[in-house]
């Protein structure tokens, strides 16, 4: 590759620095009048990591291979014939899959990446959330391709305040190669932040209510479980999203769920224990709390509603070890504390 890191590559987009079309001059203008442009010179130190390596000469743990392609397609429900047979290619969106370290992780991560995270941790930006990723595809991957990659810290944003809290966006760019030639790029952006509001000790965390999902929580307050319906194609969707995955339309209305459902799948939460997730008194039959400390174990179900969409919630009214796939459940509203009410599903009746 001959492109210099300074040159805006084709397809490169503006990181969420708030810099407008005027670019860097805007950033300076913002910094000057601010009351705390760069507390402790932190931003300057973070910025010094731009362009430094986040992972060096990584090697994919497997060659591009048919079993992983098949598993991916099954998990995604992708039946495209291009991904099967003797001339199969790998789905382009698998790009990152070939670079993943698995449970045992990677040994190729650079010191720079860890240092940057340590700096942010020290400054109080201890939480992390992935915000978006984008991929560019240069050519198709085929079984037998040997994957190598390098990763670079591309940008660190100025301090930003979001609804989650204040922090810095970090964009990492991974260049993926097959047999030594560039096949694609994967850009991954996270927000490393200090949470805006800590849930008081022992309380169940509050949901993040925003303009995309406020209607859902209004429904809960009125003891209605509302499902979004695309007014373009009629597709139901849950959880709430600003647009339709089926047709892309932004317009929607809602239908109220009947409250009937079945357990599509479930997990039992044993550890770690979170006091806020105490099994509520009177909502669970039998021995749901063998340790007597009030914090579980408890069952978390993926509930398939009668309307066809699925949602995650607690299964109550049944001992955690008696929850089963296919068990009929019915919606009810659980008052967790004076501010928080949640839709949960009671199982076991006639099941």
Residues that bind Zn ion (CB under 5 A): 230, 232-233, 235, 244, 246-247, 249
**Which residue, 195 or 215, has its beta carbon nearer to Zn ion?**
215
Shortest distance (Å) from residue 51 CB to Zn ion:
42
Residue from 166, 168, 170 nearest 196 by CA: 166
**Which residue, 255 or 268, has its beta carbon nearer to Zn ion?**
255
Phi, psi of 199 (to 5 degrees): -70, 130
CB 199 within 8 A of CB 192: no
C-alpha count within 13 angstroms, C-beta hemisphere, residue 206: 15
Measured from the Cβ of residue 220, the count of other Cβ atoms closer than 10 Å reads 17
Shortest distance (Å) from residue 236 CB to Zn ion:
10
Shortest distance (Å) from residue 244 CB to Zn ion:
3
Shortest distance (Å) from residue 213 CB to Zn ion:
18
**Which residue, 232 or 351, has its beta carbon nearer to Zn ion?**
232
Residue from 265, 10, 284, 263 nearest 136 by CA: 10
Distance CA(26)–CA(160), nearest Å, equals 15
**Which residue, 38 or 235, has its beta carbon nearer to Zn ion?**
235
Helix (H) or strand (E) holding 346: strand 341-347
**Which residue, 178 or 236, has its beta carbon nearer to Zn ion?**
236
Q: Report long-range pairs for 121-124 (Cβ below 8 Å, ≥24 apart).
A: 123/40, 123/42, 124/194
C-alpha count within 13 angstroms, C-beta hemisphere, residue 137: 11
Measured from the Cβ of residue 13, the count of other Cβ atoms closer than 10 Å reads 10
Distance CA(11)–CA(193), nearest Å, equals 27
Shortest distance (Å) from residue 307 CB to Zn ion:
15
**Which residue, 15 or 243, has its beta carbon nearer to Zn ion?**
243
**Which residue, 13 or 251, has its beta carbon nearer to Zn ion?**
251
**Which residue, 232 or 276, has its beta carbon nearer to Zn ion?**
232
**Which residue, 135 or 213, has its beta carbon nearer to Zn ion?**
213
Shortest distance (Å) from residue 91 CB to Zn ion:
23
Per-residue b or e along 231-253, where b marks 16 or more CB atoms closer than 10 Å to that residue's CB: eeeebbbbebeeebeeeeeeebe
Shortest distance (Å) from residue 230 CB to Zn ion:
3
Shortest distance (Å) from residue 250 CB to Zn ion:
9
Name residue 305's beta-bridge partners: 261
Strands (E), 140-225: 147-156, 160-161, 165-178, 181-195
Shortest distance (Å) from residue 240 CB to Zn ion:
14
Residue labelled with tokens 């810099």 = 19
Distance CA(286)–CA(289), nearest Å, equals 9
């Amino acid at each position: 590759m001959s492109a210099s890191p300074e040159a805006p590559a084709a397809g490169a987009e503006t990181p969420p620095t708030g810099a407008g079309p005027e670019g860097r001059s805007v950033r300076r203008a913002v910094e000057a009048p601010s009351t705390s442009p760069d507390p402790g010179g932190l931003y300057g130190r973070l910025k010094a990591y731009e362009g430094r390596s986040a992972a060096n000469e990584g090697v994919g743990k497997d060659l591009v291979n048919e079993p992983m392609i098949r598993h991916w397609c099954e998990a995604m429900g992708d039946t495209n014939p291009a991904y099967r047979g003797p001339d199969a290619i790998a789905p382009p969106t698998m790009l990152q899959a070939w670079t993943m370290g698995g449970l045992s992780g990677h040994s190729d991560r650079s010191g720079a990446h860890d240092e940057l995270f340590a700096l942010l941790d020290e400054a109080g930006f201890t939480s992390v959330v992935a915000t978006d990723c984008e991929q560019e595809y240069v050519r198709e991957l085929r079984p037998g391709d040997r994957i190598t990659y390098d990763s670079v810290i591309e940008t660190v944003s100025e301090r930003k305040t979001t609804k989650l809290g204040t922090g810095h966006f970090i964009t990492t760019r991974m260049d993926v190669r097959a047999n030594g030639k560039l096949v694609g790029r994967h850009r991954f952006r996270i927000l490393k932040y200090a949470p805006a509001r800590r849930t008081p000790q022992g309380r169940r965390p509050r949901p993040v209510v925003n303009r995309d999902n406020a209607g859902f929580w209004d429904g809960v307050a009125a003891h209605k479980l509302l499902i979004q319906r695309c007014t373009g194609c009629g597709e139901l969707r849950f959880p709430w999203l600003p647009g339709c995955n089926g047709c892309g339309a932004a317009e929607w209305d809602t239908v109220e769920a009947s409250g009937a459902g079945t357990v599509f799948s479930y997990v039992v939460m044993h550890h770690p224990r979170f006091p806020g997730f105490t099994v509520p008194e009177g909502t669970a039959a039998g021995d749901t709390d063998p340790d007597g400390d009030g914090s579980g174990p408890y069952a978390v179900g993926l509930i398939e509603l009668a309307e066809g969409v699925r949602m995650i919630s607690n299964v109550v009214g049944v001992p955690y070890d008696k929850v089963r796939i296919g068990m009929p459940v019915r919606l009810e509203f659980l008052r967790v504390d004076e501010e928080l009410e949640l839709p949960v599903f009671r199982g076991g009746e006639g099941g």
